[in-house]
Amino acid sequence: MKTICDNFIFALGDDKEKAILVQDGELLCFKTRDCFNDQIDSEDYVFDKLDWDHINPACGPVYLADATPEDCLKAEIVDIKLAEEGTMCCLSDNGVLGRDITHACVKKCKITSEGVHFNELVLSLRPMIGVIGNAPAEQSVACGTPGSHGGNMDNLKITKGSTLYLPIFHDGAYFALGDVHAAMGDGEIMVSGVECPAEVTVRLSVIKGAKIMDPMLEDADHIYTIASSENIEEAIYKACSAMNKIICQQLGYELNEAGMLMSACGDLQFCQVVDPERTVRFAMPKNILKLDELDSCLKNIRAI
Ligand code: CA
Ligand code: ZN
């Protein structure tokens, strides 16, 4: 297994000189830093010191052989090993409660097999990948910003056992990931989850001829469309419209029928509502879609 470490970028882009060549179907281990680039060493940390130009590091990029913009990248999340300590913070004017925050603070949380130790509480582990994506279509995009290329989606469903499908905009895709959380709630309202370094094992492959416009995700029971926009209502529309098209294709329904089915048994969910673009997902049960693997469905489509 190839290990990707000491190769960090702060924007996703098609920088061929930095890229590491990997083969279709290769298993990779990414050794990631936390979203603060491991700068926050204690709860006494003074934020004035933080180098804001070097936050949200992603490990990579990798150049995936045979990947072209006519294809889709498939990233199977095989494992996430967390570090033993996580960091949270809050800052004035940041996040949903930003207007009410009077002073910045840092919290350090021990991470054990029992969970995340938050004061006297032990929270369930929910390891997830915050930043994961390909080089965007146009110029490079800071790792802190999500979009059609993926990026800082902060989607707690991107976890061990799930499979992410990403659009490819450049030959080789230029895939990278980072910003692992030991736990995070939907919305990430204070702008941080329990941020920690990690070792992420991923299998990357190319689905030839499957052109998608925005990320999609699959786990044991659901498929998800994912969309980001500065305007959360636009993100909601994009995620719903993409799912509507999948249902039309998969079940042979028209827009209205597919929409009513979504309204009856699909779930619109927040990923995060605090990053430069907001991210939402729409979940549909696989059994309703008569779908075992999204993979097979994507092979039959030209664009969603
Ligand atoms: Ca994040
Ligand atoms: Zn994070």
Give tens-digit pLDDT for 24-51. 999 999 999 999 999 999 999 988 899 9
User: Looking at residue 304, what is its pLDDT?
Assistant: 75
Residues of the chain with pLDDT under 50: none
CA–centroid distance, residue 59 to ligand 1 (Å): 14
CA–centroid distance, residue 247 to ligand 1 (Å): 30
CA–centroid distance, residue 258 to ligand 1 (Å): 32
User: Looking at residue 297, what is its pLDDT?
Assistant: 81
User: Looking at residue 15, what is its pLDDT?
Assistant: 94
CA–centroid distance, residue 49 to ligand 2 (Å): 19
Give tens-digit pLDDT for 115-158. 999 999 999 999 999 999 999 999 999 999 999 999 999 999 99
- Beta strand 20-22 pairing with 58-64: parallel
- DSSP H or E segment with residue 251: helix 232-251
User: Looking at residue 302, what is its pLDDT?
Assistant: 61
Rounded to an integer, what distance in angstroms lies between the CA atom of residue 187 and that of residue 131? 15
Q: Which residues contact 32 (CB under 8 A, 6 or more apart)?
A: 57, 58, 59, 177, 178, 179, 180, 197, 198, 199, 200
Rounded to an integer, what distance in angstroms lies between the CA atom of residue 64 and that of residue 300? 22
Rounded to an integer, what distance in angstroms lies between the CA atom of residue 173 and that of residue 77? 17
- DSSP H or E segment with residue 79: strand 72-82
CA–centroid distance, residue 130 to ligand 2 (Å): 5
Three-class SS state of 257: helix
User: Looking at residue 295, what is its pLDDT?
Assistant: 85
CB 80 within 8 Å of CB 200: yes
- Rg for the chain, CA atoms, rounded: 19
- The sign one gets for the Cα dihedral 261, 263, 265, 267 is positive
- Beta strand 141-142 pairing with 128-133: unpaired
User: Looking at residue 296, what is its pLDDT?
Assistant: 80
Rounded to an integer, what distance in angstroms lies between the CA atom of residue 265 and that of residue 285? 8
Collect residues with CB below 5 Å from ion ligand 2. Answer: 35, 130, 179, 195
CA–centroid distance, residue 142 to ligand 2 (Å): 14
User: Looking at residue 235, what is its pLDDT?
Assistant: 98
The one-character DSSP state at 147 is B
CA–centroid distance, residue 35 to ligand 1 (Å): 7
Order of strands, edge to edge, in the sheet holding 267-272?
2-4, 27-32, 198-207, 72-82, 163-167, 216-218, 222-229, 278-285, 267-272
CA–centroid distance, residue 163 to ligand 1 (Å): 19
